[in-house]
Amino acid sequence: MQVAVTGIGVITSVGIGVDPFWDSLVEGKSGIGPVTRFDADGYTSQVASEVNEFDSAEYMDPKEARRNDRYTQFAMGASRLAVDDSGIDLDSCDLSRVGVLVGSGIGGMETIERQVGTMLERGPRKVSPFMIPSLIANIAGGVIAIEYGARGPNFGVVSACATGTHAIGESLRIMTNGEADVMLAGGSEAAITRIGFAGFCSMKAMSTSFNDDPSRASRPFDKNRDGFVMGEGAGVLVLETMERALDRGARIYAELAGYAATCDAFHITSPDVEAVALTECMNGALRNASLKPSDVDYLNAHGTSTPYNDKSETQAIKNVFAEHAMDNLLVSSTKSMTGHLLGAAGAIEAAACCKALQTGIVPPTINYEEPDPECDLDYVPNQARNIPIEIAMSNNSGFGGHNASLIFRKA
């Protein structure tokens, strides 16, 4: 069974909605700035990729929005944008065959932080009865399903920074197994909070060298990269069986053609420098799509701007693509502009792959200023490239060693 991408919804610092998002990527626009959601004085990293123009009331009932965490508000917003973009009439569908897989790597961090404060200041009886359903990482999928009456497959996908990619890939499996005709798939994250930021700062995982020049902080594959930049937002794709999409005359962004998942089984946070499992993951996705490495034109890399990840991922790409990686494969990290959306990263990067296939434009890796001898591929530095592509791959990896790869084919 073939699966089509017919709708895209994104909420990011560089744009809300697929067109503003894509235009920003093509222009090489950074959405990274000083932290404004809390006072970052005293934090080693003081830059983030915040969504500053989001109004939850545009996407859900204000009363429901108050009961839900910011990550669920983002997820609902991205889902509504995706459904509207697809032109699908869900009321005309068999809703028992419409599913939702919208995951989160962390879940309701803001809710946890706020309610712990309430308990410490005012006592346990003042804790909100909505705290538990608001914070759990599966609730976004439940809220979306309630909104649309979608009674098909629906569960929480939680695999740190690979969450969005796993959610889309598992949706592909569900559909090819004949269990659903339509899936809303992706990820959402809203972890830019005092405690969330403090935790990542304590791990020394985030960029600290560009607090005075935030737009330059995320610099994947550049020799002077020093850590990732935390982002927030959501991405959701509408997936339909190709037959159904063609029958209703839908605009098709791309075919979702392949997926694989592996685990490093190496370290809870550090990638395997030999990249054995990520290599196996990309090879598995190629087999699933019945493609050869040389068929892939563009790879949207995980590319976090951390010293170890970018080096390890470059090695994995070389392992899989060999001479093709050095001669013809285009690789870029859109995290250079959006920051790292953790559990939502794979979803917005899948959206970027679909738009690259549709438009024949490959988005750049910005802030690529000084090459790293250990990262020596064509990372599409600093400017988008107009070049028709037929096959795109997207990689994501997460703490715990989780890897996921998706393959998209031009419609």
Nearest to 8 by CA among 62, 68, 78, 82: 82
Q: Given this model, what pLDDT does residue 271 score?
A: 87
Q: Checking DSSP bridges between strand 391-398 and strand 385-386, what pairing results, if any?
A: unpaired
Across 194-199, average pLDDT: 97
Q: What kind of architecture, by CATH, is found in domain 259-410?
A: 3-Layer(aba) Sandwich (3.40)
Q: Given this model, what pLDDT does residue 93 score?
A: 96
Active site residue 161: yes
Nearest to 163 by CA among 381, 329, 348: 348
Active site residue 267: no
How far is the C-alpha of 404 from the C-alpha of 402, rounded, in Å?
7
Task: Tell how far CA 8 is from the center of its chain.
Answer: 12
Strand ranges, E, within 128-189: 182-189
pLDDT beyond 90 at 269 = no
Nearest to 192 by CA among 345, 70, 356: 70
Q: Which two tokens stand for residue 80?
A: 């509504």
Q: Given this model, what pLDDT does residue 208 score?
A: 98
**CATH superfamily membership of 3-247:** Thiolase/Chalcone synthase (3.40.47.10)
> 3-class DSSP state for residue 282?
helix
pLDDT beyond 90 at 216 = yes
pLDDT tens track for 293-308:
999 999 999 999 999 9
Split at pLDDT 50, 70, 90, the class of 265 is very high
Domain spans, the chain: 3-247, 259-410
Across 146-175, average pLDDT: 97
pLDDT tens track for 97-127:
999 999 999 999 999 999 999 999 999 999 9
Across 87-105, average pLDDT: 97
Q: What is the DSSP string of 132-198?
A: HHHHSTTHHHHHHHHHHT--S-B-----GGGHHHHHHHHHHHHHHTTS-SEEEEEEEE---SHHHHH
H or E stretch at 263 = strand 254-263
Question: Which one from 302, 353, 354, 402 is the annotated catalytic residue?
Answer: 302
Other Cβ atoms closer than 10 A to 39: 10
Split at pLDDT 50, 70, 90, the class of 273 is confident
Quick one: the chain helix, strand, coil %, rounded to 5? Answer: 40, 20, 35
Across 65-83, average pLDDT: 97
* Whole-number average pLDDT of the chain: 97
pLDDT beyond 90 at 272 = no
Question: Which one from 93, 201, 281, 340 is the annotated catalytic residue?
Answer: 340
Q: Given this model, what pLDDT does residue 101 score?
A: 98
pLDDT tens track for 339-386:
999 999 999 999 999 999 999 999 999 999 999 999 999 999 999 999
How far is the C-alpha of 202 from the C-alpha of 190, rounded, in Å?
19
pLDDT beyond 90 at 276 = yes
Active site residue 302: yes
pLDDT tens track for 134-155:
999 999 999 999 999 999 999 9
- Please give the model's pTM, rounded to 2 decimal places: 0.98
Same fold, 3-247 and 259-410: yes
pLDDT beyond 90 at 270 = no
